[in-house]
Amino acid sequence: MHTYRLTRLFVVLSAGGLLAIALMWGLFASSTQADSSLMPAAVIRYVSSLGNDAGNDCTNSQTPCRTVQYAVTTAQAGDEVRVARGTYSGTMTAPSSTGVYSATVVLTKNLSALLGGYSLDFSTRDPQANETILSASDAPRKFVVFMGDVNTLVDGFTMTGATGACPTDCVIFQYSGGAMWIRGGAPTISHNRIENNRAYYNGGGIYVSRSASPTIAQNVIASNIASFHEDGGGIGGGISVLSSSAIISGNVILSNKADVRGGGVDVENSIVSLTANTIGHNQVISPTNGRGAGVHTSGEMLVTISHNDVFSNSLPGGGGSGLEFNGPAVVDSNYIHHNRVATWGGAVLIGNHEQPVTVTNNVVADNVGGSAIWASNYGDVSIINNSVARNTGDGILLYVQWTRPATASARVINNILASNGECGLGAYAGGGTGLNFTVDFNDVWSNNKGAFCSLANPPSGSHNINADPQFVNPTQGDYHIRFGSPAMDAGTNVGAPTYDKDGVARPRGRGVDMGAYEVMQPHLAINYSNGSPGSYFTLTGTDFPPSSTGTVSINGHVMTETIPVDAAGGFVFRLNTTEADEGRYFVTVSVNPSATSSFTLNVADPLRPPEGSGPVVAVPAGIAYTKFVYLPSVRR
């Protein structure tokens, strides 16, 4: 307010001459650099279902307000609103230049945060233990939360009850947005449950539009629906992003439905990063126009999809059951499995545009229908270092039917295409268009209808192999390859990603491995090579498969203790030799692969004290390989 008054004064005096302008500019500059105490301090506002709105400024946790919207309306920019457990409903109407929006909570001012999950006395915060529900009314154009050009953090709520009930004007109007409409601004939406909502047209769970740039992180977005009265609507059952940008990370996007496209997520003309999400059991309903059951993208903006678990999404017709791209994309390090398409298409569908798509380090396995990766009417596709296995159709299908101004280009390099129900790789061209493709350094093994099908020319490379890649445990979803696999060191470094699906640097050995994973070559270090019986030895493992469990064996005897491997592939444990005999010991830690270290026990060697930390494994008696025997020297 202080700055605003000075600004007005500056404008008035500026008409009086340059001297006044210079004077007032100095005053304005000094005022903007003044002590922050001149600005109103941020205030915490409290809301409880047991509170009272009448005459309340919501600033006392002992006498909180009753409704969330009242506290939001009372708050000033920069304030924080804390909401205790309970259910909050009702609607607030906010007129704007494009319509009137109604929601349980309307946010059009920049609060610092709107936080749920508090206990009734506000002494603790735990959104799981203190469920805080925002419930919308059953009427069209009523959201749970409407956010207009704000940057507020919204965290710790359950948002439900937006039903998108369609009146007679649905033939004319679209009612986009189910639980939440983010219209401009850069808010953060985190740690919420957004479930059982419905929108007519876009975004059953969350609708992002008008150049918004939200961060949507660590939410559960489940059982939401986007529908319309006829085919052509019903987009983005879980999340719809239109002409905006978004970071979508760490969410569980589960069991959402859309009539036409994007059962889980739909992205249109937007720059979006989808990272480390669980995207499963989403559906698209239309058997004729349905596309992209898990994720669907379109437009000329780059979409990056990495490190997601995309599974059990389904289409009743053709298209992309897991991921579908109709625009430029980087698709890296995802696990895409058990998705289902009824007719054509596949788990990953790339098509209908000429912008580049790069597919690297993915495991595409155990999908049903179509092809695992179907590139249709594409312009520029690179499919490099993927493990594509045990799908019912082709591993990869390159299909170009349109007459294009330039030959479609594809690079298929360093992949494992194994045990698929039809061909390892198929390529088809029609409509007067040729195929320009490089197929090299791939392991194409045991596909039901052969390695390469319907290729106009034989594969261009001479480094493809046909050998069992030796997956660790494919029936349990482990598509790492074993140490010594024919695919190990058999790829090319040229064009290969510099890391694998686990984030391990490539190459690890003489060359890049084929497939999504580099073979780990673990190392087991020991702090001492000898000691007397009763010594402690500390063993440190590195480069083991991350987040696994190691089995310890000593001189071929398997110990009952197991060793947990951390997310970086490391561990530390100790050996207690109190009961052990003199002799030589070989210690092996096995996950897959294994590593071995050794030590000797000799009464003449120092007694090694315990060092470091970690589990302790006792070396039993009677398993030493060699005892030391001291013979007298004989002189002749």
Q: How is residue 530 written in tokens?
A: 């000898």
Handedness of CA 506, 509, 511, 513 (dihedral sign): negative
Domain check: are 566 and 485 in the same one? no
Rounded Cα gap, residues 201 and 534, in angstroms: 73
Q: Please report whether residue 544 resides in a domain.
A: yes
Phi, psi of 476 (to 5 degrees): -105, 15
Pairing of strands 471-473, 478-481: antiparallel
Rounded Cα gap, residues 619 and 599, in angstroms: 12
Rounded Cα gap, residues 356 and 522, in angstroms: 37
Residue 534 sits in which domain range?
A: 523-618
Domain check: are 533 and 482 in the same one? no
Q: How is residue 178 written in tokens?
A: 């189910």
Rounded Cα gap, residues 13 and 380, in angstroms: 61
Phi, psi of 5 (to 5 degrees): -65, -40
Beta partners for 189?
154, 216
With contact defined as beta carbons under 8 Å apart, do 299 and 330 qualify?
no
Domain check: are 449 and 497 in the same one? yes
Helices (H) and strands (E) counted in the chain, each on its own, are 3, 58
Q: How is residue 138 written in tokens?
A: 């059953």
Global pTM reads 0.83
Q: Per-residue pLDDT tens for 113-127?
A: 999 999 999 999 999
Handedness of CA 253, 254, 259, 262 (dihedral sign): positive
Query: Is pLDDT of 14 > 70?
Result: no
Q: What share of the chain is helix, strand, coil (3-state, %, to 5)?
A: 5, 40, 50
With contact defined as beta carbons under 8 Å apart, do 350 and 323 qualify?
no
Amino acid found at 370: G
Domain check: are 444 and 541 in the same one? no
Nearest to 263 by CA among 279, 243, 247, 246: 279
Nearest to 262 by CA among 242, 244, 245: 242
Range with the poorest average pLDDT among 144-153, 173-182, 438-447, 499-508: 173-182
Q: Per-residue pLDDT tens for 101-152?
A: 678 899 999 999 999 999 999 999 999 999 999 998 655 567 899 999 999 9
Q: Given the structure tokens 């007129």, which residue do they identify?
A: 95
Rounded Cα gap, residues 335 and 516, in angstroms: 10
Query: Is pLDDT of 166 > 90?
Result: no
Q: Please report whether residue 277 resides in a domain.
A: no
Domain check: are 417 and 494 in the same one? yes
Q: Please report whether residue 390 resides in a domain.
A: yes
Nearest to 296 by CA among 333, 270, 276, 335: 270
Rounded Cα gap, residues 599 and 531, in angstroms: 8
DSSP for residue 263: S
The answer for residues whose C-beta is within 8 angstroms of residue 585's C-beta and 6 or more apart is 554, 555, 598, 599, 600, 601, 619, 623, 624, 625
Average pLDDT over residues 582-593: 92
Domain check: are 534 and 502 in the same one? no
Question: ω into residue 140 within 30 of 0, thus cis?
Answer: no
Q: Please report whether residue 571 resides in a domain.
A: yes
Domain check: are 479 and 542 in the same one? no
DSSP for residue 70: H
Residue 25: pLDDT band with limits 50, 70, 90: very low
With contact defined as beta carbons under 8 Å apart, do 202 and 237 qualify?
no
Residue 631: pLDDT band with limits 50, 70, 90: very low
Domain count, the chain: 3
The CATH code of the domain that includes 534 is 2.60.40.1930
Residue of higher predicted confidence among 102 and 609 = 609
CA distances from 407 to 124, 228, 376 (A): 63, 39, 13
% of the chain residues with pLDDT over 90: 71
Rounded Cα gap, residues 99 and 80, in angstroms: 28
Domain check: are 433 and 543 in the same one? no
Beta partners for 278?
252, 309
Domain check: are 389 and 421 in the same one? yes
Rounded Cα gap, residues 230 and 379, in angstroms: 32
Cβ burial, residue 321 (10 Å; 0-12/13-18/19+) = buried
Question: ω into residue 64 within 30 of 0, thus cis?
Answer: no
Predicted confidence at residue 26, as pLDDT, reads: 39
Rounded Cα gap, residues 353 and 402, in angstroms: 11
Q: Per-residue pLDDT tens for 438-496?
A: 899 999 999 999 999 876 555 667 899 999 999 989 999 999 998 889 999 999 999 99
Q: Please report whether residue 411 resides in a domain.
A: yes
Domain check: are 548 and 478 in the same one? no
Cβ burial, residue 351 (10 Å; 0-12/13-18/19+) = buried
Q: How is residue 502 written in tokens?
A: 């686990």
Rounded Cα gap, residues 134 and 359, in angstroms: 40
Predicted confidence at residue 630, as pLDDT, reads: 43
Q: How is residue 587 written in tokens?
A: 């210690």
Q: Per-residue pLDDT tens for 212-256?
A: 999 999 999 999 999 875 545 789 999 999 999 999 999 999 999
Query: Is pLDDT of 294 > 60?
Result: yes
Q: How is residue 348 written in tokens?
A: 């990953």
Q: Please report whether residue 500 resides in a domain.
A: yes
Q: Please report whether residue 307 resides in a domain.
A: no
Predicted confidence at residue 430, as pLDDT, reads: 64
Q: Given the structure tokens 């991350």, which residue do they identify?
A: 546
Nearest to 487 by CA among 468, 514, 520: 514
Instruction: Identify the domain boundary among 513, 531, 546.
Output: 513
Residue of higher predicted confidence among 509 and 153 = 153
DSSP for residue 246: E
With contact defined as beta carbons under 8 Å apart, do 599 and 537 qualify?
yes
Query: Is pLDDT of 5 > 60?
Result: no
Rounded Cα gap, residues 386 and 364, in angstroms: 7
Predicted confidence at residue 35, as pLDDT, reads: 43
Residue 174: pLDDT band with limits 50, 70, 90: low
With contact defined as beta carbons under 8 Å apart, do 378 and 400 qualify?
yes
Q: Please report whether residue 493 resides in a domain.
A: yes
With contact defined as beta carbons under 8 Å apart, do 132 and 156 qualify?
yes
Domain check: are 453 and 504 in the same one? yes
Domain check: are 559 and 478 in the same one? no
